[in-house]
A and B are shown apart, each in its own frame.
Chain A
Amino acid sequence: MSFMQIIDLKVHYPIRGGFFNSIVDWVYAVDGIDMEFEQGKTYGLVGESGCGKSTTGKAIIGLEKITSGKILFEGEDVTKERKSRTSHFHREVQMIFQDSHSSLNPRKRIADILAEPIRNFLNLTPREERKKIDELLAIVGMPGDSKEKFPHEFSGGQKQRINIARALATNPKLIIADEPVSALDLSVQAQVLNFMKDVQKEFGLTYLFISHDLGVVKHMCDYIFIMYKGRFVECGTKQDIYQNPKHLYTKRLLNSIPATTPLGREKRKWARQEFEKMYEKHIHKAFDENGRVYDLIPISDTHYVSASSVKEVV
């Protein structure tokens, strides 16, 4: 049962120019996407740089203006409500940012950083507030004396855990994680990701996991959306996407995952080059004459692919 739906979300930016600074053209950052979120699942949003992943996340939480489309939360239309900062929606939907360092105010102590959502959303006495902060730090496995420290005294992984603790403060239903680990090194990535999974199990959270790292997405997500030029190219469960990719762009993305073994490197290189030739030859068929991605067509209960007609799906 889904608790949140996104219907035909569009975020367009005007390009201004000319003598009167009039609108010359539009950038279609996000151009008509539909999503549904179920309790306790992780949704991956994958795509190349600049395809509109982050804009989608920011538009959902209200940091970007929506051109058109609707966001339904627990059956109610919250598209307008997102603008009021202390609404119920904002309490239930939180965000983790990519840059763990710049998302913590360098002038505030950790205790004050964690207290911010508590003071805004929960009416707690100072004593309860302190208890809550201790709890949050314990959840993310940070020592109690970190309360008095400043953000720059922590490592990248620790800072990201503080960010997660802050997002957890209001017991949200959905956490939008905008490339939460791409700024961390690999060992710390694994640590933070496993920790996010643990927290998810404990609180029944839903994640919208925005990433360009296919390995991370495979590790984390139940359901995956592949995005290209502001539209979904393919979406389906993890098995649908990784075992049975249908769209040429998805195939190419999966093809680009590097193998860990050095054996057969030459062979793989040759295979990649062959695939690239095939891709160049057929890619024009995957999009319409303006280069726009086709609408999604269902090919199974969970699996959707963009194509001009069902026949085109090979």
Chain B
Amino acid sequence: MRRKKKRYRKNGRPRGIGVAFREFQKDKIALVSLFLLVLFILFVFIASFFIDQEQLMRINLYDRYSRPGEKYLLGADQGGKDILGQLIIGARNSVSIALAITLITGFIGIVVGLICGYFGGWVDYIIMRIIDFFVTIPSLLFIIVFVTLVPKYSITSFILIMSLFLWTGTARLVRSKALSESKRDYVSASKTLGTSDFVILRREVAPNLSSLLIVELTLNFAGNVGIETGLSYLGFGLPPTTPSLGTLVSYANNPAVLQQYWWVWLPASLLILFMMLAINYIGQALRRSVDVKQRLG
């Protein structure tokens, strides 16, 4: 029997992970992106263990704007702080913040979306009006106000504030899919077979949304990497004692830095570009493997 199954697998078309794997094989850019991104994230997380943040952020005026290779590998900024060290810690912060925001907003969005789509009626109506409210208010302004109001401002409070505004997109997407999925006969069948609503949601509806969710969360992750750096650039992101890619880029607001000291802002900009592009390419390859019509392989 086992042999029979194996032969079937061999002849049959690939499914699940097999499809995603083939999609990556066909799309070389996505494959390279995946490889480099995994390598980069591993490097950043391991290297950040060996860097003392307080030591790194200490101002040292003798090394002000020292060129790459003079004392530090990538030079120093206006405070004489090592650019390479700031890049590593900044990238680690960006990635972990983006990951945390993606997971929190993903969880809230999935739960709310499933409940809305499955139960419908007045539950759906009330929650959707709340979501509409969150979508219509200018979230960036509110985030800035929150950031200035919160007394003890840290990475955790930043994550929570961002998550408060970013769960609505996922919730809407999951709702729309759950709405169509809940009308399928297998849900009705489960009801007549005595399964409770909670179990139907978790065991029947949610697994059928999984492929869509993986894609949505990957692309959200790419967006969330940009959010932290964007806000830090504006000066409302992480506190100034924490190194951030956005802070490095914001030094380019000074025309002198922009023209003469390119090593301060250019590596950080390139790093942001690389991360966003890589995650987007991976997300697109995943999306194609989920949608039969778009597949390359």
Instruction: Give A contacts to B, CB under 8 Å.
Output: 58, 61-63, 85-86, 90-91, 94-95, 97-99, 102-108, 116-117, 120-121, 145, 148, 163, 166
A-B contact pairs, 30 of them (CB 8 A): A61-B192, A63-B191, A85-B194, A86-B196, A90-B194, A91-B194, A94-B193, A95-B189, A97-B185, A97-B188, A97-B189, A98-B185, A99-B185, A102-B186, A103-B184, A105-B204, A105-B207, A105-B208, A106-B186, A107-B207, A107-B210, A108-B204, A108-B207, A116-B190, A117-B193, A117-B194, A120-B195, A145-B4, A148-B5, A166-B189
Which residues of B from 168 to 203 have beta carbons under 8 Å from A? 184-186, 188-196
A117 to B185, CA, bound (A): 16
Q: Is B184 a contact partner of A102 (Cβ separation < 8 A)?
A: yes
Question: Could you count the A-B residue pairs with CB atoms below 8 Å apart for me: how many are there?
Answer: 63
Kindly list chain A residues whose C-beta atoms are within 8 Å of the C-beta of B1: 145
Which residues of the other chain, A, contact B189 by a CB distance below 8 angstroms?
95, 97, 103-104, 163, 166
Cα A95 to Cα B5 in complex, Å, equals: 32
Given contacts A102-B185, A105-B186, contact A166 B193 (CB under 8 A): yes
Interfacial chain B residues near A85, Cβ < 8 Å: 191, 194-196
* A103, B193: Cβ atoms closer than 8 Å: no
Q: With A and B bound together, what is the CA distance between A90 and B191 in angstroms?
A: 9
Who on chain B is nearest to A107 by CB? Answer: B207
B195 touches A103 (CB 8 A): no
How many Å lie between the Cα of A104 and that of B195 in the bound state? 14
Residues of B within 8 A of A61 (CB): 192
Residues from chain A with Cβ under 8 Å of B184 in the complex: 102-103
> CB distance B194 to A103 under 8 Å?
no
Q: Which residues of B contact A95 (CB under 8 A)?
A: 188-189, 192
Query: Cα distance A86–B194 when bound, in Å?
Result: 5
**Contact indicator B191/A104 (Cβ below 8 Å):** no
Contact with A along B208-224 (1 / 0, CB 8 A): 10100000000000000
Q: With A and B bound together, what is the CA distance between A90 and B194 in angstroms?
A: 7
Cα separation A121 to B190 with both chains bound (whole Å): 12
Known: A104-B186, A105-B204, A107-B208. A94 touches B192 (CB 8 A): yes
| Cβ B208 vs Cβ A103 within 8 A | no
CA distance A174 to B77 in the complex (A): 80
Mostly, the B contact residues are helix
Most chain A CB within 10 A, of B5, B188, B196, is at B188
Question: B residues near A, CB below 8 A?
Answer: 1, 4-5, 184-186, 188-196, 204, 207-208, 210
Q: Which residues of B contact A120 (CB under 8 A)?
A: 193-195
A117 to B191, CA, bound (A): 10
Closest to A99 in B: B185
Cα A90 to Cα B189 with chains together (Å): 12
In the docked arrangement, what's the CA distance between A63 and B200, Å?
15
Are B191's CB and A103's CB within 8 A? no
- A259, chain B: closest CB distance, angstroms: 34
What would 19 more interface pairs be, CB under 8 Å, given A105-B186, A120-B195?
A: A63-B191, A85-B195, A95-B188, A95-B192, A97-B189, A99-B185, A102-B185, A102-B186, A103-B184, A103-B185, A103-B188, A104-B186, A105-B190, A106-B186, A107-B207, A120-B194, A121-B194, A148-B5, A166-B189
Bound-state Cα–Cα, A37 to B167, Å: 51
Measured between beta carbons, the chain A residues less than 8 angstroms from B5 are: 148
Cα A116 to Cα B185 with chains together (Å)? 15
A295 to B191, CA, bound (A): 34
Task: Quote the shortest CB–CB distance from B225 to chain A (angstroms).
Answer: 31
A108 surroundings in chain B (CB, below 8 A): 204, 207
For residue B12, which residue of chain A has the nearest CB?
A153
Q: How far is the CB of B291 from chain A (nearest CB, A)?
A: 16
Report how far A120 CA is from B198 CA in the complex, Å. 13
Kindly list chain B residues whose C-beta atoms are within 8 Å of the C-beta of A107: 207-208, 210
Q: In the complex, what residue of chain B is closest to A96 when comparing beta carbons?
A: B189
Rounded to whole angstroms, the CA-CA distance of A99 and B193 in the bound complex is: 17
CA distance A98 to B186 in the complex (A): 11
How far apart sit A305 and B37, CA to CA, in the bound complex (Å)?
75
A103 to B188, CA, bound (A): 8
Closest to A148 in B: B5
Q: Which residues of B contact A121 (CB under 8 A)?
A: 194
Name B204's closest neighbour in chain A (CB-CB). A105
Asked whether, in the complex, the Cβ of A63 is within 8 Å of the Cβ of B192, the reply is: yes
**In the complex, which residue of chain B has the Cβ closest to the Cβ of A106?**
B208
Contacts A105-B204, A105-B208, A107-B207 known; A116 to B193 CB distance under 8 Å? yes
Say which residue of B4, B188, B194, B196 sits within 8 Å of A63 (CB atoms). Answer: B188
Shortest CB-to-CB span from B290 to chain A, Å, is 14
A105 to B190, CA, bound (A): 9
What 4 pairs between A and B have smallest CB-CB spacing?
A: A103-B185, A120-B194, A107-B207, A117-B193
Contacts of B185 in A (CB 8 A): 97-99, 102-103
Chain A contacts for B194, CB-based, 8 A: 85-86, 90-91, 117, 120-121
Task: Give the chain A neighbours of B195 by CB distance below 8 A.
Answer: 85, 116, 120
Closest Cβ–Cβ distance, residue A160 to chain B (whole Å):
12
Q: Pick from B191, B193, B195 the residue with the most CB of A within 10 Å.
A: B193
Q: Which residue of A lies closest to B209 (CB)?
A: A107
How far is it, in angstroms, between the C-alpha of A90 and the C-alpha of B207 when the chains are bound?
Answer: 25
- Among residues of B, the one whose C-beta sits closest to the C-beta of A117 is B193
Residues of B within 8 A of A117 (CB): 193-194
The distance from the CB of B254 to the nearest CB of chain A, in whole angstroms, is 56
If A105-B208, A106-B208, A107-B208 touch, whether A62 touches B186 (CB-CB below 8 Å) is no
Report the Cα distance A103→B189, complex, angstroms: 6
